[in-house]
Structures are given as structure tokens and as C-alpha cells.
Amino acid sequence: MTTQPLHIILMGAPGAGKSTQSRMLKARYQMNVLATGQMLRDEVTKQTALGLLADSYFQRGTLLPDDVMIAVITERLIHLTKNQSFLLDGFPRTVVQAEALDQLMQRQGDAIDAVISLSLSDQEAVRRLGGRRMCEGLGEPFPLHIDDKTSVEACVRLGGRLVTRPDDEPHVILERLRVYEEETAPLLDYYQHQGLLHTISAEGKPESVQEQIVQVLDGI
Ligand code: AMP
């Protein structure tokens, strides 16, 4: 396993399993995971000004403005020291955000090492998101699928609550997939040109997707 600090971007359409993979990678590489969607949901819970703003975008399934998200991520990244590994889950989501990230990394004398893109068919994304619930109340909220009876029962037995994310409502799911295609998918070309892109199929089980990501990261 590599001992260099890793600076990784994890991309993928909604439902591709970014948060599941980030949790596993965090444990394996002791990385700081900066997950913008979860940061925003925490702000919604705390009812801050950013949370109130985010909530209105969640209801529609659209992206928050670039300047807001660039400020959020800059604030977090400048507090990390050079030798700390990080994984960005959910940022950047537009070319404008990617350019701002490049500039920030340059100013810090650093660079992104790899971009992992998890690919998934729309059909499977709709199936996963339609059945996704968050298990809340047991530490960091985590996703599970309603067909996974064992996980559902374990969540409830341990005192957790099953909650549907507002942006997992059926009419919002389709809008999020459209927004991904239109605003985020162009980033694949952007990172391909930089020679950083690694595309991995997310159709398999989380463990096998994880294995493929680990192969990429250990090869850096
Ligand atoms: P996620 O948990 O990554 O699926 O993000 C949930 C929602 O948070 C997205 O659908 C957006 O509304 C918002 N969001 C998260 N990250 C970003 C970002 N980098 N730019 C704009 N909006 C974001």
C-alpha cells in the first residue's frame, strides 16, 4: 500500500455508491473524506443559512451555485496539512468547480493524484435510489436499500431511524440524473485530458468495486 498522501476525487452518478466507497476508503487509507452532500445535509439539520439554502436545492434535485460550493470546500481544504490524504466525494460537480480546485491545489503547491469515476446505468441508478434509505441516529448516517432486510432490521434493532432523503423522492431522482449528465459528466473529459481519470463499473457488489479502486490507488 502506498505511504504517500493521496489526493483523490471520487465521481459518479447519483446511486453509484460514492458514500459507501468513501467510508471503506477512509478506513483503509485513513483519509479525510470531504463529502459535500453530507456536509450540506448536516447544515440542513442544524438549520443554518447554508442549510436552508441547500434544502431548497435538494427539493429540486439541482446543484447549489458554484461560488457557494467552492467557498465550502476551500474552507475545508486549506485546513488540511500537506501530508494529509483526502478524498473528495461530490466535489467538483461542474467544470467551473474543477478549475477552482486546480487553482487552489496549485496555490498550495499540491495536485490531485487520481480521479475515480464510478459508472452505472440509469436503470440501476433509479432502482438503487428509489429503494435507498438513510439509517440515522447511529453516528454518521449511512445508506441502505429497503430490499436488504438484514441491514434494515439491524438499523432499527440498534435504535436507528430509516429516513428517505428528500432528493431520493422519485420525481427528484430523474432530475438528478439529468443534472449529472448535463453538468457533471463533462468533467470526465476534463480529467481524461489531464491523464487522471480511472473509470470503474459500479454495477457489482461494494466489495468488488472497492477492490478495483484499491488497485488503482495502490498503483499511484
Ligand atoms: P450527494 O450526497 O453527493 O448526492 O449530494 C446531494 C446534493 O447536494 C446534490 O444533489 C446537490 O444538490 C448538492 N451538492 C453536493 N455537492 C455539490 C457540489 N459540488 N455542487 C453543487 N451542489 C452540490
Stated pTM of the model: 0.92
Distance in Å, CA 39 to ligand 1 centroid: 9
Looking at residues 33-47, what average pLDDT do you find? 96
Is the confidence at residue 83, as pLDDT, over 90? no
Q: Which residues contact 95 (CB under 8 A, 6 or more apart)?
A: 186, 187, 190
Is the confidence at residue 23, as pLDDT, over 90? yes
Summarised one tens digit per residue, pLDDT across range 136-186 is 999 999 999 999 999 999 999 999 999 999 899 888 999 999 999 999 999
Probe target for ligand 1 pocket from 93, 118, 184, with the most ligand atoms within 8 Å of CB = 93
Identify which has the larger pLDDT, 1 or 88.
88
Looking at residues 39-44, what average pLDDT do you find? 96
DSSP string, 157-168: HTT-EEE--GGG
Residue bearing the CA closest to ligand 1, atom 1: 37
Q: What is the pLDDT of residue 2?
A: 54
How far apart are alpha carbons 204 and 83 in whole angstroms? 33
Residue 48: other Cβ atoms inside 10 A: 12
Confidence of residue 1 (pLDDT cuts 50, 70, 90): low
73 CB within 6 A, ligand 1: no
Domains located in the chain, CATH noted: 7-121+185-218 (3.40.50.300)
Nearest one of 217, 179, 211, 178 to 196, comparing CA atoms: 217
Q: Which residues contact 194 (CB under 8 A, 6 or more apart)?
A: 112
Q: What is the pLDDT of residue 4?
A: 83
